[in-house]
Structure 1
Amino acid sequence: MKVKCLVVDDEPLARELIENHISKIPALEVVGSCDNALKAFEVISSQKVDLLFLDIKMPNITGIDFLKTIKNPPKTIFTTAYRDYALESYDLEVLDYLLKPITFERFFKAVDRFLRSIKESDIPITQESENTEEFLLLKSGSKYHKVFIGDILFIESLKDYVKVHTVNDKRVVTKYKISDFEEKLNSDFLRVHRSYIINTTKISAFTINDIEINSKEIPIGASYKEKVISFLNQWK
């Protein structure tokens, strides 16, 4: 699932800016937008919130006092026009302290810190689009790429990274281990080598030593050969 975000700020324009920043990052979605801490508490009490964007100076109760009252609060990024509260905020173990006006570049750095803190197994590997076709959200550099699973030709390990090869010669390099994909992709995908996972629906030719996909010859690893040959024999 996407990262569920709650925006809390008594200034409508400030909330609108944060929501606009969130909309530019496919991994995030807004599940609530509140102009005070009491409304925010209702949202947090009624649904899951992964990431809280919280103003500090608000009527009735400050963001800092609000955060202190929440048991097991979500990960929090303070958004404020005041520098004075920075030290106190870090005592609350917030992720970041953003000073208004908040540029998208600075906002993205804070969000990226959060995304990096998520365990790989918690990052959304598969999701469904509006037409029910599964896709991946893969971070490469500063961008998140939407890659439809059915378009993947094969996945190539590059040590601590993988290169996802898709139709139309598109390639996305992302910081995952190949084992992460092996565990979570559907049954159309098969590990054929310590460095390769293939989409079996894209196979164009094969021998007992390699498999051809889109003119690329992919070797069959010795430790995978028995399983792969058993699979390929079903086609004969």
Structure 2
Amino acid sequence: MNNEQFTFIKTDKKLIKLYFDDITVIKGLGNYVEISTVSEKKYVYYKSLRDLIENLPNEFMRVHNSYIVNMTNIDLFEDNHIFLKGQKVAVGKSYRDCLQSTFNKFLL
């Protein structure tokens, strides 16, 4: 899955094609995740965040115990929050240093 542009997820008894670039935030809901897209659609998928992060491309990063974000869709990073396409996501203390070092790679 790591070299692909898209994946299929099973939700509501349907298989839905989902492009990785369209994903903004993945929120953990116990054994399920809620996947939010650029077009503001949300899909609930049966998989834990821990299992999911291992199969996602490198542009996805865990920033909180309950959130994975797509780094390509980040608009703003301020204080302990990331803003992505109108969504605000908190950054956990244990993830902040790793996130900051990733941002430093992209600074001019």
Question: Taking structure 2 as the reference length, what is the TM-score of the superposition?
Answer: 0.89
RMSD over aligned Cα atoms: 1.7
Which residue is 1:203 aligned to? Answer: 74
Alignment of 1:30-109 (within 5 A): none
How many pairs are equivalent? 107
Q: Does residue 219 of the first structure (1) align with residue 90 of the second (2)? A: yes
Go from structure 1 to structure 2 and tell me whether the alpha carbon gap of 1:156 and 1:214 turns closer, same or farther (over 3 Å shift): same
Greater than 4 Å deviation, 4+ residue runs:
none
Alignment of 1:176-187 (within 5 A): 176-187=47-58
Which residue is 1:153 aligned to? Answer: 24
Q: How far apart, CA to CA, are the structure 2 residues paired with 1:192 and 1:185?
A: 14
Query: Higher Cα Rg: structure 1 or 2?
Result: 1
Which residue is 2:10 aligned to? Answer: 139
Higher relative contact order (CA 8 A, sep 6+): 2
Deviation, 1:208, is 3.4
Q: How far apart, CA to CA, are the structure 2 residues paired with 1:144 and 1:219?
A: 30
Question: Taking structure 1 as the reference length, what is the TM-score of the superposition?
Answer: 0.43
Structure with more helix by fraction: 1
Structure with more strand by fraction: 2
Deviation, 1:127, is 8.2
Q: Percent identity?
A: 34
Q: Runs of 5+ in structure 1 lacking a partner?
A: 1-125
Q: Runs of 5+ in structure 2 lacking a partner?
A: none
Which residue is 1:171 aligned to? Answer: 42
Q: How far apart, CA to CA, are the structure 2 residues paired with 1:216 and 1:204?
A: 10
